[in-house]
Amino acid sequence: MQAGSSIMPGKVNPVIPEVVNQIAFEVIGNDVTVSFAAEAGQLQLNAFEPIIAHSLFKSVNHLQAGCLTLATRCVSGITANREHLRRGVERSIGIVTALNPYIGYANATEIAQQALVTGQSVYDLVLAKKLLTPEQLDQILQPEVLTRPRSFGPGAAPGKAEAVSLGPTQID
């Protein structure tokens, strides 16, 4: 084996998130210690209060340090590559689900299968089959629309689904 052959170009070692996981494991262990110590105490006198306090303070200090390190070295400065994400959504076969109320189950299934076989986007296939206009597709596939509860009446026009607020009892 050649020296350095196991190196992976472009690999980033996620050591800080791994350390945060280790901190979480330690906190879980400390929680077990606190639980056992609290349970083993007799009456109002608990001889195990020192280990309870030690475990709690250790957990809080490690969690604070881990959260601050994660925030400053991993989270701060993260930005979304919107164009890459948009292409991913557009190339996703899953978006056909959002079109189901507008183009029907049979068409949606056919589009999904064809997209899987050909690698074409759902968007392009729907346009090619003239099932919806580009304006309708753009309206239906807006992230703001896709993430909002909607109702679809029997006569809902393509791209014109009414947004409704669902109460807690309606979600079930």
Q: Which residues are catalytic?
A: 5
Helices (H), 41-155: 49-70, 82-90, 96-103, 105-118, 122-128, 134-140, 143-146
Helices (H), 5-95: 15-40, 49-70, 82-90
Question: Cα separations (Å) of 159 from 99, 103, 154?
Answer: 9, 10, 14
Which tokens belong to 149? Answer: 């509860």
